[in-house]
Structure 1
Amino acid sequence: MAYDLTDKLVIGISSRALFNLELENRLFNDEGVQAYSDYQRRHEDEPLLPGTAFPLVRALLELNRSIPGRRLVEVVVISRNSPDTGLRAFNAIEAHQLDITRAAFTGGTPIAPYLQAFKVDLFLSRDADDVQAAVDGGVAAAQLYDAPAIYEPPGKQIRIAFDGDAVLFSPESEHIFKTEGLDAFVEHERRNRHQAMAEGPFAKLLLRLAEIQDHFPAGRSPVRIAIVTARNSPAHTRVIHTLRAWNVSIDEAFFLGGLPKDLVLQAFGAHMFFDDQESHVERAAGLVPAGLVPYKGGQLLSTDVGGKTLPTQPTGRANHIESA
């Protein structure tokens, strides 16, 4: 019987997001494919250091030990590497004892078409174009920034933090703030405080994480979720009503009213923080792993996941060849 991924959280990840391949990527950009390929062959048995997403991936894979006989998470390496140069990544996976057995090495061709084939719920990469193409194709995706210089992941609990507007929720309210100003935004949210917001690009992922939480007794889940948003009172009310409408319980919420997010994220102990604003991600990335969600809006299409209607988005952005 074929292996079924539909009931699992599936993480697609580039080798450069999982491991530190920045030196190799510079070689690729400066000297080309052949120099990069020769270097990878010469060093394929040398261990690779962890990349930005490594702590999150390792923690998520540990969930598979939580329930005997049940795998909750699968991780697939999806990379523009050739199968030959991709061998180094799998050697590093074995060296770090990561339970990853699946990969797609596309040899420089676009990655996005394969994300749906592997039923990917979240794609993590260092490449902006690959991430944008994934989001345009209806897959939650983030461009990861450099790993923080000093970072100690939390113990056995997985902690994931999300911005709200244009990440979990649609960008409608954020668009009003940017185009009409704060007063118009506050009035819009006051009028619509009991109306649920439309789903953003990470809504499906949030529900997947909530499904994992449901496997554990209340208060004992190894997954902890936070919303860290620039909203404050009274605009926070609509967030709460939206989560109620989705039947999702958030463990922690921080309504910062424009205050910086980085120290709150450090205190929360985030394995990963997702935001659509470069300024927030840049500042947060100095303290915790962080990724930029390049959501630009657009007409949301619907797809049914776990009985809930969730968004996809129109395709249509080209990619380029890159090393990882």
Structure 2
Amino acid sequence: MAYDLKDKLVIAISSRALFSLEEENSIFDKEGLEAYYDYQLSHLDDPLSKGSAFKFVQNLLAINKKFDNKLIEVIILSRNNAATGLRIGRSIEHYNLDIERTGWTAGTPVSRYLEAFKVDLFLSVHSPDVEEAVNSGVAAATILPHTPITSEESDMVKIAFDGDAVLFGDESERVYQEKGLEAFIEHERENAKNPLSQGPFFKFLKTISEIQDKFPMEKSPIRTALVTARNFSTHERVLGTLEGWGVRVDEAFFQGGVQKYEVVKAFGADIFFDDQDTHLEHTSKETPSAKVPYRR
């Protein structure tokens, strides 16, 4: 019987998001494809350094140890060709990561394969692939440069999300951008009973919630946080929307315009998703962070 990905949480990740390949990519940019291949093949026995999303992936895969059947699949989807995948494969073995499925497209956009692999979340450093993924309805984000301070395996994964334009649609954010704070607050109070639309990460949060429901709340291996720039005066619409969706966030922070990075760090997030550079440039210094592009 064929292996079925349909009932799994499937994370697709580029090799440059999982491992640090900046030196190798520099060779590609300066000397071309052949020099890049030669370098990779001559360094097969040199494990790659851990990349921005390594800890997030490591801790996600640790959840599978609690079950006889896997709940989570991590798949490498890379624009590299299969030959350069040899070094990636040896690095996966070196770090004992349970990754059994890969795709090497030799330059073809990887976004066209996301549906085939039933992908729930796609992480890459290549923003055009991320934008195509979001526009096709897959939760996706561009992982930002981050040097892991520690990557010891944990028995819990912590994921932090921005609200508007990430979990929710961006209609309220457009009101703020076009008309200012007072108009935004008035708009949200007037629409407090009307649920927000689903954002690009709604399906991903829904799938996480389904995994959380398999555990008593205090023993869930995944913990989530909403970290929003909204004032608390607009909380009713946000929390009512989440309740109507039948999903939960474990912690919620209404920052009222205060910078998010200290709260995200205190939460201990393995990854933080936001759509605004003004927040991400600070959070990415302390926490693996990823930018969610606008969905056209």
Report if TM-score (shorter chain) is over 0.5.
yes
Greater helix content:
2
Matched with 2:105 is 106
Deviates more, 1:286-295 or 1:128-137: 128-137
Q: CA, structure 1 residues 195+154, in 2 after alignment: closer, same or farther (shift >3 Å)?
A: farther
| Cα displacement string for residues 154-197 of structure 1 (whole angstroms, at most 9, x for unaligned residues) | 84211000000000000000011111111111111001111111
| Cα displacement string for residues 254-307 of structure 1 (whole angstroms, at most 9, x for unaligned residues) | 0000101111111000000000001111110000100000124x4xxxxxxxxx
| Cα displacement string for residues 68-106 of structure 1 (whole angstroms, at most 9, x for unaligned residues) | x22110011000000001111111001110000100000
**Mapped contact 2:10–2:121 kept (Cα < 8 A):** yes
Separation in 1 of the partners of 2:264 and 2:147? Answer: 13
Separation in 2 of the partners of 1:154 and 1:41? Answer: 29
Code of the aligned partner of 2:196: M
Unaligned runs of 5+ in 2: none
Separation in 2 of the partners of 1:180 and 1:153? Answer: 46
Separation in 1 of the partners of 2:148 and 2:219? Answer: 31
Matches within 5 A, 1:58-77: 58-67=58-67, 69-77=68-76
Alpha-carbon distance, 1:153 to partner:
6.5
Matched with 1:191 is 190
1:161 is paired with a residue of what secondary structure?
strand
**Mapped contact 2:273–2:290 kept (Cα < 8 A):** yes
Alpha-carbon distance, 1:150 to partner:
3.2
Code of the aligned partner of 1:214: D
Matched with 1:314 is none
**Mapped contact 1:121–1:205 kept (Cα < 8 A):** yes
Matches within 5 A, 1:31-42: 31-42=31-42
Separation in 1 of the partners of 2:149 and 2:96? Answer: 23
Matched with 1:235 is 234
Separation in 1 of the partners of 2:174 and 2:150? Answer: 34
Matched with 1:23 is 23
Code of the aligned partner of 1:109: T
Alpha-carbon distance, 1:136 to partner:
1.3
What TM-score comes out, normalization by structure 2 length?
Answer: 0.97
What TM-score comes out, normalization by structure 1 length?
Answer: 0.89
Code of the aligned partner of 2:183: A
1:141 is paired with a residue of what secondary structure?
strand
2:217 is paired with a residue of what secondary structure?
coil
| Cα displacement string for residues 1-31 of structure 1 (whole angstroms, at most 9, x for unaligned residues) | 1111111100000000000101111111122
**Mapped contact 1:226–1:250 kept (Cα < 8 A):** yes
**Mapped contact 2:188–2:237 kept (Cα < 8 A):** yes
| Cα displacement string for residues 44-64 of structure 1 (whole angstroms, at most 9, x for unaligned residues) | 221111101110101011111
**Mapped contact 1:151–1:287 kept (Cα < 8 A):** no
Alpha-carbon distance, 1:146 to partner:
1.1
Aligned residues: 296
- How large is the Cα RMSD of the aligned pairs? 1.2
Code of the aligned partner of 2:274: D
| Runs of 4+ displaced beyond 3 Å | 148-155
Separation in 2 of the partners of 1:190 and 1:180? Answer: 15
Matched with 1:46 is 46
Separation in 1 of the partners of 2:152 and 2:135? Answer: 31
Separation in 1 of the partners of 2:40 and 2:107? Answer: 15
**Mapped contact 2:59–2:154 kept (Cα < 8 A):** no
Q: Percent identity, aligned pairs only?
A: 52
Separation in 2 of the partners of 1:27 and 1:277? Answer: 31
Alpha-carbon distance, 1:148 to partner:
3.8
Separation in 2 of the partners of 1:29 and 1:140? Answer: 29
**Mapped contact 2:51–2:148 kept (Cα < 8 A):** no
1:234 is paired with a residue of what secondary structure?
helix
